[in-house]
Amino acid sequence: MDNLPYFLGGAAITVFVSLIAWVLGLPLSLIIAIARIQRIPIVDLVFSLYVSFVRSLPSPLLVMLLYFGLPVVGLDLNPLVAGIIAMTINTSAFNSEIWRSAILNFPSDQLDAARSVGMSPNQSFWRIAFPQIWQANISNFINEATFLVKSSPAVGIIGIDDLTRRAGKIAASNYEPLPTIVLGMMLYVVVLFAVSLASRQLERYFHDRYQLV
Amino acid sequence: MAKLEQPIDAAQPLPVIQVVGLSKCFGSHPVLTDINLAIMPSETVCLLGPSGSGKSTLLRCMNWLERPSSGEVWLHGTQMGYQAGRKRLASEAELAKMRTRIGMVFQQFNLWSHLTVLQNVIEAPIHVQKRPKAEVVAEAEHLLAKVGLHNKLQAYPSQLSGGQKQRVAIARALAMKSDVILLDEPTSSLDPELVGEVLAVIQDLAQAGMTLVIATHEMKFAEEVASRVIFLDQGRIVESSDPKTFFAQPETARARQFLERYIHVGAI
């Protein structure tokens, strides 16, 4: 198993790309959701098209679109940046739908109480609704993160040496595809298992604390 | 629509809340029609009437949680929902500021689930009224002790009974030091054995001279605590009198019919 460090390096790149995209995608998706709920003219239309478009596009194509397409309009991106942006866009579209339904379903009676004590719409969102919404939906967001990890091999297309790409390279050079692929698979399983374990713990913590909606 | 001056009766002190010609429609359905009333300082006014008679909507129009379709609401000489001395609608921020002067207690308690009992009470005084934290916390602890919850400061709403939740909600409204508290059927979603503890707290407030407007179905409570009873039916004020008169000799057939049903139910 001389290749293990090489494999682990690939896993680290996979985790890195996914994590950054997830962290950037969460606030971006919240902005999209809020803009759509507020029905800001034009912005709402643009974001609604954005969400439909991104959700129907396979991730590898989105990656290629950014990497090969943006130089046409004068934006040269290095592969890692292009890959992370593509994955961020990808996850933001899905997460925005989670935010949107959570915000729309937030109990209006708690917001009535917030208005009745003189909170502005901004205050009642950020101080009352938002803390409950993200905590109640943490498992949905983490679930979306697992999809993100699984679609991250798309960045291999533009040469980012993630776990899948490295597994493919090794399998092609040592003529032992099966053990190589199994090892690669197991690394994904370990990563995703850790993610879902974290999700369950967080969910339980928030639930026990104050049984959110 | 908006007048610039409150119609004041010079012989009377200034009402805490004065409602003038207020109507509210949801779509084409009229819920309140031409409501006129004045709530005087330290009064305890009970709004009675069958379900759907507009009691809750009237309370929600008083603090503009529902915007009246027409008519005016005056709060100590300033008109709710309008910029001071002008006919222009107030912004959300200005409206929010006006609402701090009117406390509200809801049928479903409406506590904030992610905050502890203490946090629920101190949230608005600190973050809306920007009062110093130490002072607000001390007051909140005092208020929560007064409603019998000094040992629940760190509990979350999900860990409380309905009666406890409602007492927290009352403490939350009191912490705002508002001029008046509106209570929207404060005991209607409580188990019967928990009603008493909440009514006792409200009764204490009334005796302490707090101005209260209470929509309620608790006839006995209204009879004992109210300084005035307003009977609503189909969105109109049908009777407004002192509780003794109202319960002993209601003027209208509609009120008699309403009371008979309650007495009948109560007798079972």
Report pLDDT for B8: 72
Q: Does residue B206 carry a pLDDT above 90?
A: yes
| Contacts B96 to A, Cβ<8 Å | 115, 118-120, 123
B128·A123 Cβ contact <8 A = yes
CB distance from A35 to chain B under 8 Å? Answer: no
User: For B117-143, b where at least 16 C-beta lie within 10 A, e where not — what string?
Assistant: bbbbbbbbbbbbeebeeeebbebbbeb
For A43, phi and psi rounded to 5 degrees?
A: -55, -45
Which tokens belong to B88? Answer: 């222009």
Q: Which residues contact B114 (CB under 8 A, 6 or more apart)?
A: A128, A131, A132, A135, A210, A212, B156
Nearest CA in chain A to B175: A117
Dump pLDDT digits (tens) for B222-263. 999 999 999 999 999 999 999 999 999 999 999 999 998 877
Chain B interface includes A135 (CB < 8 A):
yes
Which of A116, A118, A212 lies closest to B113 in CB terms?
A212
The length of chain B, given as a count of residues: 268
Look up the domain containing A179 and give its range.
4-210
CATH code (residue A179): 1.10.3720.10
**Cα B258 versus chain centre, distance:** 22
Q: Longest Cα pair distance anywhere in chain B, in angstroms?
A: 55
The confidence score (pLDDT) of residue A176 equals 85
pLDDT of B84: 81
Q: How is residue A53 written in tokens?
A: 């478009």
**Pairing mode of beta strands B236-241, B102-105:** unpaired
* B155 in contact with chain A, both atoms CB, cutoff 8 A: no
Q: How confident is the model at residue B264 (pLDDT cuts 50, 70, 90)?
A: low
Q: How far is A121 from chain B (nearest CA, A)?
A: 7
pLDDT tens-digit map of B36-85: 999 999 999 999 999 999 999 999 999 999 999 999 999 988 999 998 87
Q: pLDDT, tens digit, for every residue of B97-155? A: 999 999 999 999 999 999 999 999 999 999 999 999 999 999 999 999 999 999 999 99
Residues in CB range of A145: below 8 A, 6 or more apart? A18, A22, A91, A195
> What pLDDT is attached to residue A209?
74
The pLDDT tens digits for B170-204 are: 999 999 999 999 999 999 999 999 999 999 999 99
Cβ contact B96–A132 (<8 Å): no
What pLDDT tens digit does each residue of chain A (213 aa) get? 678 899 899 999 999 999 999 999 999 999 999 999 998 899 999 999 999 999 999 999 999 999 999 889 888 889 999 999 999 999 999 999 999 999 999 999 999 999 999 999 999 999 999 999 999 999 899 999 999 999 999 999 999 999 999 999 988 888 888 988 999 999 999 999 998 998 888 888 888 776 654
Please report the ipTM that was assigned to this predicted complex. 0.90
Per the structure, the count of domains in chain A is 1
Is some CB atom of chain B closer than 8 A to the CB atom of A126?
no
pLDDT per residue over B26-37, tens digit each? 999 999 999 999
